Chains A and B, each alone.
Chain A
Amino acid sequence: MESILQKAIGIKEHLNELYIEVEKDSFKDDCLALHREKGAMLRVMLGADERELDGSFRIYTAFSMPGVDRLLTVVLSLREPDLSFPSLTPYIPAAHWYEREIRDMLGLIPEGHPDPRRLVFHESFPAGSHPLRRDWSASATDLKEWGEGTAIKVPQRFMEVEGEGIYEIPVGPVHAGIIEPGHFRFSAVGETIFFLEPRLFYTHKGTEKHFERIGFIEGVKLAERVSGTSSFSHSAAYCMAVERIMGLEITESAKAARTLLLELERLYNHVGDIGNMCAGTGLAVGYARGATIKENLMQLNERITGSRYLRGVNVIGGTGKDVFRHRDDILSTLDSVTRQYKGMMKLLLGTVSHVERLENTGILSKDIAVKLGVTGVAARASGVNDDLRKAHPHLLYDKLLFESHTMSKGDVLARMMIRAEEAECSLSMINALLESNYKGDLTVGTKEIPAYTAAFGYTETPRGAVFYWMKSDKVGKPLRVKMRSPSYCNWPAVPFAVHGNIVPDFPLCNKSFNLSYSGCDM
């Protein structure tokens, strides 16, 4: 650590963020030193076009070390004409998607990256076009041809598996159920999945570029609509980042309201997901139970915030609605939910045919989970003890007593049990939060945004860690907004989990991860 700091060109500190600017020659070694010697996990990697500031592009690689509440960000500047940087992927596989994304969106080349294919854009997107460059604008014809999707501009091949008896099953992007679009290419031997390659990013909506257009304050609305079932966590992380740029400290009552709603969001997601897994095993009664409890919680959400998805509550500087006014309603609803939930779990765990399907299905090993930087429920079910609420305490999480549960097996059953334990944990946290009174107004006035200032915002969504990183430009407008949803780092792990399982178990494995396509596709 000291040697990295000594060699650094520049060091900047802002709250719990430490930015270390390094030379290109030492970039790879510094990142590897942090990762291997200190056990630091790669949190986010992003590129930004900061040519208007000092003529350079920058690569930010954020790590955090276990047990230390500090985000270590290695910064590398790149100037034209040499826009390549040493790829970290051969040493830190978790960087795999980030580097391909940086190549697609900004045209910076990760040298030595094993996969030369595009990540975000499909075949018909024009070559040499990089939307996150500040001076980029696409012509109408280019976009039209991209949408029609017929002209192949840059051919993209699926991985081909050859051998006797191997055949391919293409699925999607329009699926049989009511789910989001994505294409899956299975290479199967008989019933067994030998290899799965997902092609995602069908729902790519240019969210990060759109954040730049609409400004910091309006961006809350967009953050709420990145991933529907994590609306509140996304907007909470977004608001946190903007507030940190402004140097704004929100009041205790706003913190309490955000913590409460984050836990309510976790609760409805976990209960719904447990029920949804029953749809994967054909246990209709379990599915109906889970869906009913979830519906009760959604209606509670609507009564206390006016939105079933907890939208419109977060504003920069606090929360726009007083949820503690509905204390009695929340307590009585959660009381009946607890009873129903306990009944459901008893039914599920007592149904041998259900548990038997979950056990040993879709195993994700700890080794792969660590290497790919898997987060959230999926990571904890595979024995990786990582929870942002503990690792980087924010809001009121440092004052609440709770356990971060882990299991070692990494199968579908483990993911269900982690959800069950976390749901119970959320219930007790909500009850604890409702016991006290909190000081302060719900919102504090916003401040002006200083020029060229950057900050992280983060929280633990029901699916895992979400990160926002943003930087302001000269006049206090967004220069770059990076959003990293938990689904983005969990999707690459799904093919490893389904390997060796039978094709009919794929929906079950998929449901046990319950990843968002929209959040991943940006």
Chain B
Amino acid sequence: MLKEIFRNMFRRKVAIPFPEGFRISPEEATEVMDLQERADAVFGRSLRIRQVDAGSCNACEWECTALTNPVYDIQRFGIDFVASPRHADALLVSGPVSRQMELALRKTYLATPEPRFVIACGDCAIDGGVYKGSYAVTGGVTQVIPVDCVIPGCPPSPTAIIAGLARLLEKLAQR
């Protein structure tokens, strides 16, 4: 452990690049690069997100967790996930909103201070996805709370989520 700490102290810091096979379009890729400036402009370098699982299969959750790993390291853009909706600027909701989570989602939304933004993350959150039509789901976040931005994908890859956040920030900057 000590050896490792010493080695890291004297080695040049290299930012880990985005993975190969960056699956978003080149225009979106430049958006990602501008993300930091945009987050600075809109939120003064502190977009805080509360992730809410409203019945997702856990793939979207693991992709959000991956955003904080050393490869994507979303904190470097000034964006981070927080532990309480009361600390959040935006809610990132995944899942088709199961009926047993509907009330909890509403309460979480009400606990978020205004101005608050809602991001529907993943195909299920947009319209129910493969679960569309099941008796136990409401069929998307819009059925329960107003949505500002959607990120398609099943699950959206971490890069797609970053691009989606960039779109939200752009939308807010234009307001």
Given A148-B102, A148-B103, A174-B85 in contact, is the A203-B53 Cβ separation under 8 Å? yes
A-B contact pairs, 25 of them (CB 8 A): A148-B102, A173-B104, A174-B52, A174-B108, A179-B61, A180-B53, A181-B53, A201-B100, A203-B53, A203-B56, A205-B98, A225-B57, A225-B59, A225-B124, A227-B57, A228-B58, A272-B62, A285-B4, A291-B65, A295-B19, A295-B66, A299-B19, A303-B21, A308-B155, A350-B1
Q: Chain B interface (Cβ within 8 Å of chain A)?
A: 1, 4, 19-21, 51-66, 68-71, 81, 83-85, 95-96, 98-104, 108, 124, 129-131, 133-138, 154-155, 157
Q: A228-B60, A228-B62, A518-B58 are contacts. A143–B135 as well, Cβ < 8 Å?
A: yes
B51 touches A178 (CB 8 A): yes
Contacts of B56 in A (CB 8 A): 180, 203, 228, 518
Q: Determine if A210 and B131 form an interchain contact, defined as CB atoms under 8 angstroms apart.
A: yes
Q: Which residue of A lies closest to B82 (CB)?
A: A176
A516: CB under 8 A from chain B? yes
Q: How far is the CA of A184 from the CA of B47 in the complex (A)?
A: 29
| In the complex, chain B residues whose CB is within 8 Å of the CB of A122 | 100
14 more A-B residue pairs beyond the given contacts A148-B102, A149-B103, A225-B129, with a C-beta to C-beta distance below 8 A? A131-B135, A180-B61, A181-B104, A202-B104, A203-B53, A203-B101, A204-B99, A206-B137, A229-B62, A285-B1, A292-B70, A294-B69, A517-B58, A518-B55
A173 engages B65 (CB within 8 Å): no
A155 at the interface (CB under 8 A from B): no
Does A311 make an interface contact (CB < 8 A)? yes
Binary per-residue interface labels of chain A (284-300) against chain B in the complex, 1 for a CB within 8 Å, 0 otherwise: 01001001101100110
* A149/B102 contact (C-beta < 8 A), A302-B21, A311-B154 known: yes
Residues in A with CB closer than 8 Å to B157 are: 302, 308
Q: Would you call A150 an interface residue if the criterion is a C-beta within 8 Å of the partner chain's C-beta atoms?
A: yes
Residues in chain A near residue B68, CB distance under 8 A: 291
Does the CB pair A203–B55 fall under 8 Å? Answer: yes
The reply to whether A295 and B55 form a contact with Cβ atoms under 8 Å apart is no
Looking at the assembled complex, report how far the CB atom of A496 sits from the nearest CB atom of chain B, in whole angstroms. 24
User: Is residue A213 contacting chain B, with contact meaning CB distance below 8 A?
Assistant: yes
B59–A228 touching, CB < 8 Å: yes
B59 CB contact (under 8 Å) in A213, A292, A303, A309: A309
A295 to B103, CA, bound (A): 34
Q: Tell me the nearest residue of chain A to B136, going by C-beta.
A: A206
Task: Give 8 nearest A-B pairs by CB, closest first.
Answer: A228-B59, A206-B136, A291-B69, A149-B103, A176-B83, A147-B99, A147-B102, A228-B58
Bound CA span A206–B68, Å? 32
Task: Check A228 against B4 for contact (C-beta < 8 Å).
Answer: no
Contact A295 B57 (CB under 8 A): no
